[in-house]
A and B are shown apart, each in its own frame.
Chain A
Amino acid sequence: MAADMAHEPRINQTSLGDGAVLVLSGDWTAPHARLIEDLAHRALPQARRIVIDLTGIARLDTFGACAISMLRDAAGGAGMKPVLMGMAERNAPIFAALDPATAAEPPRPRASLLDAPESIGRNLTNAGADALALFSMLGRLVASFGRGLRDPSRLRFPSIVHHLDRTGVRAAPIVLLMTFLIGCIIAQQGFFHFRQFGATDYVVDLVTVLTLREIGVLLVIIMVAGRSGSSYAAEIGSMKMREEIDALRTMGLDPVDVLILPRVLALVVAAPLLTLLGMLAALLGAGVVAFLYEDMNPAIFLLRLREAATFSHLEVGLVKAPVMALVVAMTGAIEGLRVSGSAESLGLGATSSVVKSIFLVIVLDGLFAILFAWLGM
């Protein structure tokens, strides 16, 4: 059989009384999928009985058999008595597997007007569930930390140090660079606009207060959420996917002890240190701009800085850092544990860990502002 010759699939029809014979020929194979289905679709004659003759077929595979089954079923549906003729013994299993050939189309979800209010309701309950999950995770972390304090060997210092290195030490360069640039930008904008009022001296106050209280910590935490929170979610999520978490559980170990607490502790320790570094870099940036752009004497800059940078501003910034880091790390862990079997849910977990933790950090920042105003700090 010359298998490499192009065999166009064909159907030749001959009428015999009130019946018809369909003679199939050529290659009824996958590359001709569309063609053979069209042929089978159009071939149905006006006849009482029909014979489908397969003897002329050069090559047949599952796709061809599927088209032939469709033709046969259509004929059967139209009240004819279709007969398959010349089916090779060896092809019987394909036809058998195809038997309920035209599988029912699975129902498709329909869009309806009620979808919008339904999704609002769903999102609200999801937000409620998120808040609950956060508190439950906090509870489990506190319990685990308590067990760790009673028996420090359970605190897993090597793991904490490893994560400190990953989330703290290795984040330092990018944090320094970013906050330095932001310090430069704020100072430049300040000088540019305050010049009109002759109030350039106050730019130093502006930069200092802004950096110490808000910008330093927020920038660092947002960077940490994008860098470490998402990687926590992805790591824990892929361990969940590959049943590593279940393996831990069956060994009698609590994943919170083994995986989550060390990560959370590392981030809670790393964040204030990174924040401090970030603040210094931002102030340095402001100083550089003051010198280069405004010709401000560094000594004067330092003098104004000493006046503006009170301890309470620094405290406000540094108190926020570990709390926000805790929320970021917990959100990462929670989203990681929610991952199910699919790669898509892993991506979704990593994304929503970043989105949710940045949102929560901004909300927390607002709450802190109210708290500190009340405390008079």
Chain B
Amino acid sequence: MAAVPAISIANLSVDLGGRRILDDLSLEVQRGEMVGLVGASGSGKTVLLRTMLGLLPKSAGQVEILGLPLERAAPREVRAIGRRCGAMFQQGALFSSLSVRENVEFPMREYLDGSDRMFRSVALAKLRMVGLSESDAEKLPAELSGGMTKRAALARALALDPEIVFLDEPTSGLDPIAAGEFDTLIRNLHDMLGLTLFMITHDLETLNAVCDRVAALHEGRIIADGPMHALLQSEHPWLQAYFRGERGRAVQWAR
């Protein structure tokens, strides 16, 4: 079987509001890889993710998801890709008029043929996996705490057992125990389903525990790309500041 990369980005540039946010950026993620993306606040991580999902226009370059360029694909193919991907947005983006359980069931109802009973038990299982209880399942998004919103959004991203999962800061706003549970959950899913993960995070613990590879975005480009320990050794001043600043060191000392 030819190894089609899960995600392939070549020479991507994106301009927003007359400013170049991403500049000639290239990145490839193989199937089953767990890749973390780091970068300063406002460096364009979310922009990169949204461009990969086809939500923002590109100025130049190509993005292929599972070997398919989204902008040239037929609507049927885009739908097929949509079934195999799950995305979680930074703000959660839960559908506000549906309950948490209905939010998780929504992609199932759209894409799958199955009974209500099965969808309900799978949805509840997903919610349990991310640490939400049965009583939370019937709440509306407006009635959730910040961390619960994150978990519900994660459950919805995982609803279809997708092959690729895109996550934008999944652990920010979670307490350390919950963040640890998240790490375990993602690793379990990877073991079970062979999940490919593309995750934006500032959480050094999560990077360490989950990601095979870490890419660093700085000034619109990927300045470093490799296993966590290689990035820690990097001589790039920004990376040094990022990983070996007070907070980064505190994490390393702790282990």
Contacts and interface: CB of A to CB of B under 8 A. Distances in A.
Interface of A: 2-4, 29-31, 33-34, 37, 60-63, 65-67, 69-70, 90-91, 93-94, 97-98, 101-103, 105-106, 241, 340-345
A341 B142 contact: yes
Chain A at the B interface: SS class: helix
Contacts of A61: 161, 192-193
A101 B140 contact: no
Interface in B57-105: 95-97
25 contacts: A30-B160, A31-B112, A33-B112, A33-B115, A33-B118, A34-B114, A34-B115, A37-B114, A37-B118, A60-B192, A61-B161, A62-B125, A65-B125, A66-B125, A67-B118, A93-B192, A97-B129, A98-B122, A101-B121, A103-B121, A105-B120, A341-B96, A341-B141, A342-B97, A343-B97
A346 B114 CA distance: 32
Contacts of A90: 188, 191-192
Interface in B110-126: 111-115, 117-118, 120-122, 124-126
Nearest to A65: B125
B134 interface: yes
Contacts of A31: 112
A33 to B, nearest CB: 3
B219 interface: no
B28 interface: no
Given A90-B191, A93-B188, A341-B141, A33 B128 contact: no
Given A90-B192, A94-B125, A342-B96, A33 B120 contact: no
B1 interface: yes
A375 B143 CA distance: 54
A344 B97 CA distance: 6
Nearest to B99: A106
B121 A66 contact: yes
A222 B193 CA distance: 59
Contacts of B143: 341
A65 B138 CA distance: 23
Most A CB within 10 A of own CB, among B1, B143, B161: B161
A362 to B, nearest CB: 31
A34 B108 CA distance: 12
A61 B129 CA distance: 14
A247 to B, nearest CB: 15
Contact of A106 (B1, B111, B138, B192): B138
Given A4-B1, A101-B121, A340 B129 contact: no
Given A29-B161, A30-B112, A62 B122 contact: yes
A119 B112 CA distance: 38
Contact of B120 (A2, A103, A344): A103
A4 B163 CA distance: 13
Nearest to A41: B115
Most B CB within 10 A of own CB, among A3, A103, A340, A344: A103
Contacts of A97: 125-126, 128-129
A63 B97 contact: no
B142 A342 contact: yes
Contacts of B141: 341-342
A340 B140 CA distance: 10
B118 A93 contact: no
Nearest to B116: A105
A30 B118 contact: no
B96 A344 contact: yes
B119 to A, nearest CB: 8
A143 B120 CA distance: 52
A102 B117 contact: yes
A65 to B, nearest CB: 8
A91 B124 contact: no
Contact of A66 (B97, B118, B129, B142): B118
Given A103-B121, A344-B97, A91 B192 contact: yes
Contacts of B188: 90, 93
Nearest to A344: B97
Interface in B1-42: 1
Contacts of B115: 33-34, 37
Given A33-B113, A66-B121, A341-B141, 11 more contacts: A3-B1, A33-B115, A33-B118, A61-B192, A62-B125, A91-B192, A93-B188, A94-B192, A98-B121, A340-B142, A342-B142
Contacts of B96: 241, 341-344
A342 B192 contact: no
Contacts of A94: 125, 192
A63 B118 contact: yes
Contacts of A241: 96, 142
Nearest to A345: B97
A37 B120 CA distance: 13
